[in-house]
A and B are shown apart, each in its own frame.
Chain A
Amino acid sequence: MRVRVKFAKTGIMRYVGHLDLMRFFQKAVKRSELPIRYSEGFNPHQIMSFASPLGVGLTSEGEYMDIDLKEKVDAASALKALNDNMVEGLEITGFKYLPDDAEKCMSAVTAASYVVTYKDSKDDACYIDNIIDLKERFFDESGSINIVKKTKKGERELDLKPLIYRFNLIIKEGVPEYDLLLSSGSTDNIKPELVIKAFHEFIGLPEFDELSLDIRRIDMFTGEPDSFVSLGDIGDEH
């Protein structure tokens, strides 16, 4: 009986890394007394997997974890039991039974949406008057966005353009706010800071500091660009 749990990681929980979060959830599931299934063998562990890890410093409203239960439980009470075992900055927002053929969240994810803004309203980017026009030219229908991506094996040239599914920009109280939908998952995982860095270079801002950005993940999706489905829309509560 597979279940997809959706949760939000906000506030000060941004400073807790992915491995630490996984360990937190193992204990939280145990405390909540859900009938979770364990692997076989000498060191049994809970059958639990997470969609794309969230970097330290980022917050998210759309995180997912799949777990295996030995038997069906009432979704609403399970959601409550889990929430009773959370801390400030972690909230369970969904608990859905997955259909048998549903792909695991870890391999299913193909895209993620983000809202990115600046931590400091005096950031250089806030003083670019024609930033909206520049954005139109940066994210032009026909053009390409070539960057050099650093990987473990070295550096490689990459065209970001086909991996950016949405790049919107609005000015909110004088501060630019980006609304992004980016390729995500095991093959072409594009981090939002990489896209903003390319944009900064395009508009001629010097010295990009990724720590100047406030990045919120909004949701994660599966499927193809023309038919993305939120990971949270798969399955149901019964």
Chain B
Amino acid sequence: MKKLALPDDILMQIDKPARYIGNEFNSVKKNPADVDIRFAMCFPDVYEVGMSHLGIAILYDMLNKREDTYCERVYSPWPDLHNLMKERNIPLFALESQDAIKDFDFIGMTLQYEMCYTNILQILDLAGVALESKDRENDDPVVIVGGPCATNPEPIADFVDLVYVGEGETSYPLLLDLYKEHKAKGFDRQAFLRDAAKIPGIYVPAFYEVTYKESDGTIESFKPIYDDVPAVIDRQVVKDMDSSSYPTKMLIPFVRAIQDRVVLEIQRGCIRGCRFCQAGMIYRPNREKSVDVLKEQARELLASTGHEEISLSSLSSSDYHALGELMDFLIDDCLSEGVNVSLPSLRIDAFSLDVMSKVQDVRKSSITFAPEAGSQRMRNVINKGLTVEDIIGGATLAFKGGWNKVKFYFMLGLPTETDEDMKAIPQLANEVAAAYYDTVPKEQRQGRCQITISTSFFVPKPFTPFQWAPMYEAGEYLRRAKVVNDEMKAQLNQKSLKYNWHHSDVTVLEGVFARGDRRLCPAILDAYKSGCFFDAWGEYFDFDKWLAAFEKNNISIDYYAYRQRDLDEILPWDFINCHVTKDFLKREWNNAMNAKVTPNCKMNCNGCGAGIIGSGVCHNAR
């Protein structure tokens, strides 16, 4: 029988013990003695969240295709287990072999959201690995991070040895080959890091020196300390999605994951250019997979997993060139076999409604719009190319098709937002409700329509045209939510409307981290030591502890979140080349200030800089 790292009495007293036993169908079994490199791939959040993540699935499969490497998985132990592991000194282990990860060659972590930063420290702490890079010795694992937040890794610079900037498919083979060479000749940590720094996309924070201006505390210079370490890190981009590594098998967790279905990535990047959206900028250029490759991948994945649902993954599925053909294939080939097709947020039009009516129970499901802003002016500022006619027209079609539930997603606190823009949110919802009562005759209605409005608070992100924008204090966000709520109550159809909004403290913290620099590291360390982790989970988020950690380390929230940055300021992430140029971002910032819309990449090339990659939409257009 397979051994487990946790004793029976612990497994019997914690919540969901199956999170920690491994043994999932399609998990990879190798003999650790047969490999050169042991890699612990961590998602620093709870199992059900981490097991749903496509990026980890791709890298797990890709790394395990190498005979010399055994990649295993690790997730954050839930606080109940965390306490028991600390109490009894049980080191954090990988799920497959159940071996302690402090003996591994690499600990890799993905940074999907800023609020996981303390969970990185939790993983290192439970593993028994020094929390700061400077304290690690030759026989400690190499700690590497990647993922979207690695486009500004500075707030966690002290904790990691390497940062992989960009898409993992390209440089991991080089990095692992290099590691093997170094291991064979007797591993010297500093020498390895020095060589790794020369691999495209690999950033070694310890090899850079930052100085700050005495006048205002902004960055004065950001430079490598060695001549052979690059001053600029090029974000890695897969050129051809068709030939890029994609798993034919996916793990089947026992505990139900958030994504309990086949996830098929149909394209990377987005042509739209919404000005608040980091993914829409950093994943440029938009690169599609061919429809034949997708059909084959869908077939294989359904057969190897036994999932009864398949979902398409992309930033904007409606823009995929052969969506009709792909949907026809999925509906004809899969639906008959008891497999459901679930649709990610599509543009609501006649085509998508037709598809949805085939795959969903219209009476139970709802239609989702993400206009992100209520007024046309505001939508022009954020470059969300959606008009009120599109929304009312789409909703009317949906009502005719039998739907009576509509969900709306908006953001509050966007640059230039006025009270009129806030009020436009419930007004738009009211118009949609009115369209329902105009469209559906009384005798066909099943009660009222339900229009749900959700708002989140806007957080400016690096590498977006809004990266210079100021945020607001927590109280101001709540005031804005109240403006929306009050205006909603003044609407004629208010009984058909429902409004949800988010907490604002966590928004401010996310804002500090998103545009933070390495001066935040000591504060994050102190916050973890004072008990902060699982900050993304409301029940564990403790803002007061964070404020105390900031105060102790002289961190000003005002400096990181609330101030308007100068367009010429050196930003902490300027050393990364995301291909989208700063000139383009500045141009887009100015367009935003003038509420001027920029056409999407298929209509017109706007010279963002991503064309240098020489593939995807930029290449096709030429």
**A binding-site residues for B, Cβ under 8 Å:** 10-13, 15-17, 20-21, 23-24, 26-31, 33, 38, 42-46, 56-57, 85, 87-89, 119, 211
Q: Is B68 an interface residue (CB 8 A)?
A: no
A15 and B2: CB pair below 8 A?
no
- Which A residues are in CB contact (< 8 Å) with B599? none
A26 and B18: CB pair below 8 A?
no
B530 to chain A, nearest CB (A): 33
Interface size class of B (residues with CB under 8 A): 20 to 34
- Which B residues are in CB contact (< 8 Å) with A12? 1-2, 4, 21, 23
A85 and B1: CB pair below 8 A?
no
A56 and B12: CB pair below 8 A?
yes
A31 and B306: CB pair below 8 A?
yes
The digit string for B436-475, where 1 denotes a CB below 8 A from any CB of A, is 0000000000000000000000000000000000000000
Contact of A15 with B24 at beta-carbon distance under 8 Å, contacts A20-B255, A31-B304, A211-B9 already known: no
Q: Is B256 an interface residue (CB 8 A)?
A: yes
A27 and B8: CB pair below 8 A?
no
A16 and B305: CB pair below 8 A?
no
Contact of A27 with B307 at beta-carbon distance under 8 Å, contacts A15-B17, A43-B361, A211-B9 already known: yes
A85 to chain B, nearest CB (A): 7
B364 to chain A, nearest CB (A): 8
Contact of A11 among B1, B9, B361 (CB under 8 A): B1
The 8 closest A-B pairs by CB, nearest first: A27-B306, A30-B306, A31-B306, A15-B17, A11-B1, A42-B361, A20-B254, A16-B254
Q: Is B178 an interface residue (CB 8 A)?
A: no
B308 and A15: CB pair below 8 A?
no
B8 to chain A, nearest CB (A): 7
- In the complex, which of the residues B4, B21, B252, B254 has the most CB atoms of chain A within 10 Å of its own CB atom? B254
Determine the residue in chain B with the shortest Cβ distance to A212.
B9
Determine the residue in chain B with the shortest Cβ distance to A210.
B12
B306 and A15: CB pair below 8 A?
no
B249 to chain A, nearest CB (A): 10
A30 and B308: CB pair below 8 A?
yes
B18 and A15: CB pair below 8 A?
yes
Query: Can you give 5 A-B contacts (C-beta < 8 A)?
Result: A10-B1, A15-B21, A38-B338, A43-B361, A57-B8
B306 and A29: CB pair below 8 A?
yes
B252 and A27: CB pair below 8 A?
yes
A164 to chain B, nearest CB (A): 25
Cα separation A43 to B359 with both chains bound (whole Å): 10
- Which A residues are in CB contact (< 8 Å) with B255? 20
Q: Is B212 an interface residue (CB 8 A)?
A: no
Cα separation A56 to B18 with both chains bound (whole Å): 10
- Which B residues are in CB contact (< 8 Å) with A211? 8-9, 12-13
Cα separation A211 to B254 with both chains bound (whole Å): 22
The A-B contact count (CB < 8 A) is 75
Q: Is B25 an interface residue (CB 8 A)?
A: yes
B23 and A28: CB pair below 8 A?
no
- Which A residues are in CB contact (< 8 Å) with B322? none
A31 and B24: CB pair below 8 A?
no
B25 and A85: CB pair below 8 A?
yes
Cα separation A238 to B23 with both chains bound (whole Å): 33
- Which A residues are in CB contact (< 8 Å) with B18? 15-17, 20
Cα separation A26 to B340 with both chains bound (whole Å): 14
A119 to chain B, nearest CB (A): 7
Q: Is B303 an interface residue (CB 8 A)?
A: yes
Q: Is B11 an interface residue (CB 8 A)?
A: yes
The digit string for B214-258, where 1 denotes a CB below 8 A from any CB of A, is 000000000000000000000000000000000000001011100
B345 to chain A, nearest CB (A): 21
Contact of A24 among B12, B25, B304 (CB under 8 A): B25
Cα separation A21 to B25 with both chains bound (whole Å): 12
Contact of A87 with B361 at beta-carbon distance under 8 Å, contacts A20-B254, A28-B306, A31-B305 already known: no
A56 and B23: CB pair below 8 A?
no
Cα separation A27 to B261 with both chains bound (whole Å): 10
- Which B residues are in CB contact (< 8 Å) with A38? 338
B306 and A85: CB pair below 8 A?
yes
Contact of A87 with B24 at beta-carbon distance under 8 Å, contacts A23-B256, A44-B338 already known: yes
- Which B residues are in CB contact (< 8 Å) with A16? 18, 21, 254
B11 and A24: CB pair below 8 A?
no
- Which A residues are in CB contact (< 8 Å) with B24? 87
Task: Give me 10 other A-B pairs in contact (C-beta within 8 A), A31-B304, A89-B1 excluded.
Answer: A11-B2, A16-B18, A26-B306, A26-B308, A27-B306, A27-B307, A28-B25, A43-B340, A44-B338, A88-B23
- Which A residues are in CB contact (< 8 Å) with B9? 211
A20 and B256: CB pair below 8 A?
yes
A210 to chain B, nearest CB (A): 9
Determine the residue in chain B with the shortest Cβ distance to A37.
B338
Cα separation A207 to B338 with both chains bound (whole Å): 51
- Which A residues are in CB contact (< 8 Å) with B1? 10-12, 88-89
B391 to chain A, nearest CB (A): 27
- Which B residues are in CB contact (< 8 Å) with A29? 306
B4 and A24: CB pair below 8 A?
no
Determine the residue in chain B with the shortest Cβ distance to A25.
B306
- Which B residues are in CB contact (< 8 Å) with A85? 25, 306
- Which B residues are in CB contact (< 8 Å) with A88? 1-2, 23
Contact of A119 with B307 at beta-carbon distance under 8 Å, contacts A12-B2, A13-B23 already known: no
Cα separation A56 to B21 with both chains bound (whole Å): 13
B17 to chain A, nearest CB (A): 4
- Which A residues are in CB contact (< 8 Å) with B305? 27, 31
Contact of A87 among B4, B25, B260, B338 (CB under 8 A): B25
Cα separation A89 to B17 with both chains bound (whole Å): 15
- Which B residues are in CB contact (< 8 Å) with A24? 25, 252, 254
